[in-house]
Amino acid sequence: MEKIFELRQGDRALARLTVSETGEVTLDHDLTEDALSMLPVVVPFDGSGRQLKVQTGPDGGRVTVSFSDNTGVQLKLGADEELFLKVRDTKRLVRVRPAITASDPGSVGNQPIHDSHLVLELVPSKVTSK
């Protein structure tokens, strides 16, 4: 059974991560290069509509990005040295990385960001560094 994680900005889903039964993770979206020029920031949600925390850390010598709620980690993805997630964009247009450490509670759109949590940034594939 596949799992789907929506990447939302406010009430609007800009993209979604789909995890297949074999564990392959793909990024699905209808974004254009113009839309990506603004470097959209999104918050991940699970299939039940719960907002997930984004955290980075080492895991056996490699960098990982975890999506979790209060019950535990729901998705853990590898990342490269620039923290881009190891997901396949079927359109080869977008890369995803954690961004913006919130030191104080705030929001992205109408989605709250809590202390020390990260959000995700959608970046055009041709951009490789911050």
Q: In which residue are the tokens 């564990």 written? A: 23
At 105 the three-state DSSP class reads: coil
Tell me, what's the pLDDT at 28?
Answer: 96
**Contact between residue 52 and residue 63 where contact means Cβ atoms under 8 Å apart:** no
Q: Number of structural domains, the chain?
A: 1
pLDDT higher for 60 or 38?
Answer: 38
The contacts of residue 115 (CB under 8 Å, 6+ apart) are 102, 103, 104, 105
**Contact between residue 108 and residue 91 where contact means Cβ atoms under 8 Å apart:** no
Whether the per-residue pLDDT at 104 is higher than 90: the answer is no
Which tens digits make up the pLDDT trace of 65-89?
A: 999 998 999 999 999 988 899 999 9
**Is residue 129, in this structure, part of any structural domain at all?**
no
**Is residue 115, in this structure, part of any structural domain at all?**
yes
**Is residue 69, in this structure, part of any structural domain at all?**
yes
Whether the per-residue pLDDT at 55 is higher than 90: the answer is no
| Residues spanned by the domain of 107 | 3-124
Strands (E), the chain: 3-9, 12-19, 25-29, 41-45, 53-59, 62-69, 72-78, 88-89, 94-99, 106-108, 111-113, 119-124
**Is residue 81, in this structure, part of any structural domain at all?**
yes
Tell me, what's the pLDDT at 114?
Answer: 47
**Is residue 130, in this structure, part of any structural domain at all?**
no
Using a pLDDT cut of 90, give the percent of the chain over it: 57
At 33 the three-state DSSP class reads: helix
